[in-house]
Amino acid sequence: MYKFPEDLESKYRFVTLASKRAEQLQSGAPARVTEINRKVTVIAQAEVAMGHVDVWNREAEEAEAAGSMDEEEEE
């Protein structure tokens, strides 16, 4: 397993971010690192550890989705 970057506040955040990235890789997204291991979970962990993945903010994503729903209701 890869060590999580210091800019992430917890191991939980690292695992969550790697999980989201693994889903993307499983869906066909190109890998951002050259990794011998072919498991998407290991590749995703490597990408997060090396800083190749932007930090995902669930609260911001939910707020953005709620904002777009409000705009649709106004129309």
Can you give the residue ranges of every domain in the chain?
Answer: 11-74
pLDDT at 60: 63
SS3 35: coil
Q: What's the confidence (pLDDT) of residue 19?
A: 92
**Which of 3, 38, 45, 2 lies closest to 21 in space, CA to CA?**
45
pLDDT tens digits, one per residue of 11-60: 888 888 899 999 999 999 999 888 777 899 999 999 888 888 877 666 66
> Global pTM?
0.67
> To which residue do tokens 């997204």 refer?
29
25/47 Cα distance (integer angstroms): 11
